[in-house]
A and B are shown apart, each in its own frame.
Chain A
Amino acid sequence: EIVLTQSPGTLSLSPGERATLSCRASQSVSSSYLAWYQQKPGQAPRLLIYGVSSRATGIPDRFSGSGSGTDFTLTISRLEPEDFAVYYCQQYGSSPYTFGQGTQLEIK
């Protein structure tokens, strides 16, 4: 099983700032099958990024993904008020299709 470790657990930033979220895998993620999801309180998760760096339909270009192998990053270039939420990475290259434990992005 691939274990995904996200850091930091909580990130406190202000609107307009840049956010950098990390996801580290216990072994290489095959074929770059790494996704990022956003979840707001009381809502289902929403796909942001897939294939490490491809934005899902309707996702603003301030969201970007990068990385390879075992180290991946989600970057939000300029935080908007609606971006404060919990973010999860997921590997879907091999079953079980594990999620990271999440990063809470909160308003400073």
Chain B
Amino acid sequence: QVQLVESGGGVVQPGRSLRLSCAASGFTFNSYGMHWVRQAPGKGLEWVAVISYDGTNKYYADSVKGRFTISRDNSKNTLYLQMNSLGAEDTAVYYCAKASCSGGSCPLFLWGQGTLVTVSS
């Protein structure tokens, strides 16, 4: 069925790196833009990054620019988020979400269940 499944979360020390993955199934992955959205414990949603259908266009929130990198492998139907120089403020559930078009300027129709990243020593 149509779904997104995130993985790669866990506990990581401050300053270290982590890579999240999002496996897509049930739809033509290489036709849609994909986003990462995060939610700190007990807080609201924060948009993180978007990548276009072919990976050529990427945009980031200021809070992660220069530290996080969004990428995709269309041959594997998988979205990634490489997170470097992690700090306590990055502790959150990270959701991947499918846009309804090939770029970023469209609503998020499909969400994964999220993966928790905890930055702690």
Contacts and interface: CB of A to CB of B under 8 A. Distances in A.
Partners in one complex: yes
Interface of A: 1, 31, 33, 35, 37, 39, 44-47, 50-51, 56, 86, 88, 90, 92-102
Interface residues of B, number: 23
Nearest to B114: A44
Contact of B109 (A39, A56, A86, A94): A56
13 contacts: A35-B108, A44-B112, A44-B113, A45-B111, A47-B109, A56-B107, A56-B109, A92-B104, A93-B105, A96-B61, A96-B62, A98-B47, A102-B45
Nearest to B101: A92
A95 B45 contact: no
A47 B107 contact: yes
B109 to A, nearest CB: 6
